[in-house]
Chains A and B, each alone.
Chain A
Amino acid sequence: MTALVTGAASGLGRLAALRLAAAGTPVAAVDLDADGLAGTVRRAPAMRAYPCDVTEQAPVQATVDAATAELGPIELVVHAAGLCRIGRALEQPLDTLRRVFEVNYLGTVHVARASMPGMIERGRGTLVVFGSLAGWLPSPRLAAYSSSKFAVTAFCEVLAQETAGTGVRILCPCPDHVETPLAEQVRATDPAVLGGRRGADPASVLDAVDRAIADPRAPLFVFPAAGTRALWRARRFAPRLLGRLITRFVRPSD
């Protein structure tokens, strides 16, 4: 089995790539950050680095083609590449907003379009796309990120509907914030955006993803922790109450 992992230079993508490589799975490690990627694949004979920007379709397709030729048909895709930039909904620079959308939403589209047809043709495979609790639950200063993850949530659900019965599974883990460089960067800009809370341990998030991959009956959307599941339920069944709590407790500094 060959795996392809995006966002493999840091955070969840890096950890997912290292776990797969430790098990001896050939891994195509994909990221825009070539230096970070070199650190991930260092002394890992089962892993190969493919520096690539997921915001364009052609390089993603070229990466999938090259990885398939060099490592074998891809059976597992873990799409963890993502970007978070915080700012007020009415003031965030449009270029920033566009970049967040291009990485998070279009990146997902590009990875799915490049990797799914081969898996559908072979009748087997799993696409894991990291969504976010922010893809269900908006909160202040996360307009760009949250909207892009809402788009990812919707895209994954449509993809699952359209590819049902092909033998290819789609899983969309939606963690609350995770202690990775992405969260650290948000915290460095404004810790109040994360409600002053500590995030989840990346290892426990990946444990939940591993369990979902191993369970053929796991649902499309995976909420890796009990607290995350509770927030998702509250969003569905008590959206006004939860909204009031969020505007009360999430108080960005500017």
Chain B
Amino acid sequence: MTEHLIQGERVTMPVEIRDASACTAVFAVRADEVRSVLGHAGVAPAEPVPGRALCSLVFVRYLDGDLGPYHEFGVVFLIRSPAGRGLGAFVHWLPVNQSFTLEAGRSIWGFPKEMADIELGFSGGTGRCAVHLEGERVLELLVWPGVPVPARGAGTSVDAYTYADGALRRTPWRLHGAGVRARPGGAVLRLGEHPVAAELRRMGLPGRALVSSGIARMRMSFGDAEVLR
């Protein structure tokens, strides 16, 4: 069992999240723009329809977990696995609002975390999130309640890929959700003027979401990252 020292505290692997809530919205975006954004990492987006890639916007409220309580926003692309066949989730941008998780995320997994002001709420089944960086509005995302989806007992495993300091890493990520609701569409995205918003706009956002979902109670676990190259 490996350990990492973060802000003077020992974090043992795998990192466990026992209680979190999240909303996601999946958008079809321009694959050529995604390819140029991901070029530096040497990975390519999956294109379920030629010319279109999938971009997930996600916001999470972590309550009980090994990285403490915090808010997080994520921009994630579905990619072709760089290590063989299959698919993976490339974490492109992952702002958080607390220092402990910032340091842990960067140093343990190379997650592209940075400090931001992240307001979010999950009232009455509707999730809303606003991200500000250095006082500037980056984006706002609203996710409407969907219809209940039966939870899969065993949960899901995903390979999360990150690229930091010249290294491509793969992190085994397990998640299990309860109180899952989903629907087609169901998301409203508003983009600000920040460079990150401009990048998303070049990909064709905002637009109509393919599908959006909310997870009331989520458990997750993150293993140690493996450097691929």
**Chain A residues within 8 Å of B, Cβ to Cβ:** 15, 18-19, 21-24, 42-47, 203, 207, 210-211, 214
A214 and B9 CA atoms in complex are apart in Å by 36
Interchain CB contact (< 8 A) of A42 among B61, B68, B119, B121 = B68
Asked if B63 and A45 sit within 8 Å, CB to CB, the answer is no
**In the complex, what's the smallest C-beta–C-beta distance from B118 to chain A, in angstroms?**
8
Please, could you name 26 A-B residue pairs with CB atoms under 8 Å apart, sorted by A? A18-B63, A18-B64, A18-B69, A19-B61, A19-B63, A19-B69, A22-B61, A22-B63, A22-B69, A22-B71, A22-B97, A23-B71, A23-B97, A24-B97, A24-B98, A42-B68, A43-B66, A43-B100, A43-B101, A44-B68, A45-B68, A45-B100, A46-B69, A207-B123, A207-B124, A210-B121
* Residue count of chain B within 8 Å CB distance of chain A: 26
Contacts of B98 in A (CB 8 A): 22, 24, 44-46
Write out, one digit per residue, whether chain B residues 118-131 have a CB within 8 A of any chain A CB (1) or not (0): 01111110000000
A203 and B178 CA atoms in complex are apart in Å by 13
**Chain B residues within 8 Å of A, Cβ to Cβ:** 9, 21, 61-64, 66-71, 97-101, 117, 119-124, 216-217
A44 and B63 CA atoms in complex are apart in Å by 10
**In the complex, what's the smallest C-beta–C-beta distance from A223 to chain B, in angstroms?**
16
List 10 additional contacts besides A22-B70, A22-B98, A45-B99; criterion CB under 8 Å.
A18-B63, A18-B69, A19-B69, A22-B62, A24-B71, A43-B67, A44-B69, A46-B98, A203-B21, A207-B123
Contacts of A203 in B (CB 8 A): 21, 216-217
Contacts of B97 in A (CB 8 A): 22-24
Contacts of A214 in B (CB 8 A): 123
Asked if A211 and B123 sit within 8 Å, CB to CB, the answer is yes
**In the complex, what's the smallest C-beta–C-beta distance from A26 to chain B, in angstroms?**
12
Asked if A210 and B62 sit within 8 Å, CB to CB, the answer is no
**In the complex, what's the smallest C-beta–C-beta distance from A39 to chain B, in angstroms?**
9
**In the complex, what's the smallest C-beta–C-beta distance from A226 to chain B, in angstroms?**
13
A214 and B128 CA atoms in complex are apart in Å by 14
Interface of B, secondary structure class, is strand
A214 and B63 CA atoms in complex are apart in Å by 20
A24 and B62 CA atoms in complex are apart in Å by 12
**In the complex, what's the smallest C-beta–C-beta distance from A70 to chain B, in angstroms?**
18
Interchain CB contact (< 8 A) of A211 among B69, B71, B101, B124 = B124
Asked if B63 and A207 sit within 8 Å, CB to CB, the answer is no
Q: Which residue of A lies closest to B64 (CB)?
A: A18
Contacts of B99 in A (CB 8 A): 45
**In the complex, what's the smallest C-beta–C-beta distance from A84 to chain B, in angstroms?**
23
**In the complex, what's the smallest C-beta–C-beta distance from B148 to chain A, in angstroms?**
14
**In the complex, what's the smallest C-beta–C-beta distance from A61 to chain B, in angstroms?**
28
Contacts of B123 in A (CB 8 A): 207, 210-211, 214
A28 and B62 CA atoms in complex are apart in Å by 19
A207 and B63 CA atoms in complex are apart in Å by 14
A19 and B122 CA atoms in complex are apart in Å by 11
Contacts of A19 in B (CB 8 A): 61, 63, 69
Contacts of A23 in B (CB 8 A): 71, 97, 119-120
**In the complex, what's the smallest C-beta–C-beta distance from A156 to chain B, in angstroms?**
24
A44 and B65 CA atoms in complex are apart in Å by 10
A42 and B100 CA atoms in complex are apart in Å by 10
A18 and B70 CA atoms in complex are apart in Å by 9
A214 and B126 CA atoms in complex are apart in Å by 15
Residue of B66, B69, B71 ringed by the most chain A CB atoms within 10 A: B69
Q: Which residue of B lies closest to A47 (CB)?
A: B69
Contacts of A47 in B (CB 8 A): 69
Residue of A24, A211, A214 ringed by the most chain B CB atoms within 10 A: A24
**In the complex, what's the smallest C-beta–C-beta distance from B137 to chain A, in angstroms?**
17
A46 and B71 CA atoms in complex are apart in Å by 12
**In the complex, what's the smallest C-beta–C-beta distance from A148 to chain B, in angstroms?**
29
Asked if B9 and A43 sit within 8 Å, CB to CB, the answer is yes
Asked if B122 and A207 sit within 8 Å, CB to CB, the answer is yes
A224 and B25 CA atoms in complex are apart in Å by 29
**In the complex, what's the smallest C-beta–C-beta distance from A225 to chain B, in angstroms?**
13
A18 and B120 CA atoms in complex are apart in Å by 14
Contacts of A15 in B (CB 8 A): 63
A190 and B119 CA atoms in complex are apart in Å by 42
Contacts of B63 in A (CB 8 A): 15, 18-19, 22
Q: Which residue of A lies closest to B119 (CB)?
A: A23
Q: Which residue of B lies closest to A210 (CB)?
A: B123
